[in-house]
Amino acid sequence: MTPDEFLRSLQSRPLAPAYLLVGPEAYDRDRCRRALVEHALPLEDREAGMIRHDLDEVDLAIVLDDAQSFSLFAANRVIWVNSAESALPRGRSSAGDEDPAEEGASTKKAGANPLSSYLSNPAPGTVLVFNCSRYELDGDDKARVQRVQKFYSAIRDQVELARYNPDSARRLAAQLAKERGLRIAAAELDQLTEVLAGDAQRTANEIDKLALYVGTGRSVTADDIWNLTPEAKTSTIFALVNAVARCDRAASLESLDVLVREGEYLPLALSFLATQFRLALVAREAKLTNVNQVQNYFTKQGTPMWRSRAEQVAQTAKVFTSQRLEKAIYEVYATDKALRDTRPDDRIVMERFVLELTGPN
């Protein structure tokens, strides 16, 4: 089930004796944990009734013994168990490369899963939550996640905590801003989402900071994001990328000047430029003609692509010919080499780079 389905289930049916949370998304994990504690534990039980274990440090049998023991200090308990994957049998299967027959044999060799026995007669008033945050839900970790889910198959309620994609991260930011009465325009919302790379937990933290800093009397500005969000300093690098892509020499040099005055690391700016040009060249070679095509193409290739980022790539691919993009990539190489040599000033090297790219074709 999804985190939202889990939250709805807390209101619609009795608590299950055990839950499995699997996936890396910290924001949704915290949402689920807070909602479960509020629903399962009366206020007077929350200090003594919230128990934590880590299967990197204790055995599953010890956790289940604790669950079967009654507490003198809390009638209801939530037992939160981290590192759920550590309970799985050790061996080649831990690397995710064991075939099903070998996996079944290793499980039988390790003995019956004691969790099934516990769940056949769970302790009343006790909720077990097994948390596995080590693995991604797709890619190379998919087989490992499936093994964890199979090992805990006795737990009916399994919640998958997937990372937010670019669109869902932006919707979350807009929702949180609305809940806190924060006035933020679409451009600033895009900027905040992009500089935080769609990280839901950091987005929630930064929205809270902006709400305290700005209040409800005015709208959030780009300067507010710059001042409060450490990652926002990269936004000037994106401005430089866009200006170079438009062949706007004055704006490019102005953005470079801002980076220098703010003490930014200029090789990082060059790295962003290199990525922009490579993506634009791929977009041209794949004959991608609009923003949706760019976003869908790179997402399918495994490269996360925010819409604003896709707009930048599409704009760059439109402005630059393939020959100019190839030249730009060569200039990136030459500039990177120059930045590694003995030189009087990184700024001089980068200014030469900007002049080369924004000059006449």
Of the listed ranges 92-96, 297-301, 332-336, 350-354, the one predicted with least confidence: 92-96
- The reply to whether 224 and 239 lie within a common domain is no
- The reply to whether 194 and 144 lie within a common domain is no
- The reply to whether 143 and 14 lie within a common domain is yes
Q: What is the CATH number of the domain that holds 21?
A: 3.40.50.300
Domain count, the chain: 3
- 300 versus 65: the higher-pLDDT residue is 65
Residue after which a domain boundary falls, among 143, 160, 177? 160
Span 265-313, pLDDT tens digits: 778 778 888 888 899 999 999 998 888 888 888 888 888 777 777 877 8
Domain limits for position 195? 166-228
Q: What is the CATH number of the domain that holds 268?
A: 1.20.272.10
- The reply to whether 174 and 132 lie within a common domain is no
Of the listed ranges 30-39, 89-98, 204-213, 328-337, the one predicted with least confidence: 89-98
Q: What is the pLDDT of residue 230?
A: 61
- The reply to whether 345 and 256 lie within a common domain is yes
- The reply to whether 11 and 149 lie within a common domain is yes
Q: What is the pLDDT of residue 100?
A: 41
Q: Across residues 153-160, what is the average pLDDT?
A: 93
Residue after which a domain boundary falls, among 127, 160, 193? 160
Span 135-146, pLDDT tens digits: 888 877 889 999
- The reply to whether 267 and 285 lie within a common domain is yes
pLDDT higher than 80, residue 359: no
Half-sphere exposure of 318 (CA within 13 A, CB side): 12
Instruction: Give the global pTM.
Output: 0.63
Average pLDDT, the chain: 83
Residue after which a domain boundary falls, among 183, 198, 228? 228
- The reply to whether 42 and 138 lie within a common domain is yes
Span 223-238, pLDDT tens digits: 777 667 765 555 567 6
Name the pLDDT band for 54 (thresholds 50, 70, 90): very high
- The reply to whether 121 and 245 lie within a common domain is no
- The reply to whether 155 and 43 lie within a common domain is yes
Span 238-257, pLDDT tens digits: 677 777 777 788 888 888 88
What are the structure tokens assigned to 58, written together?
């204790």
- The reply to whether 196 and 323 lie within a common domain is no
- The reply to whether 108 and 9 lie within a common domain is yes
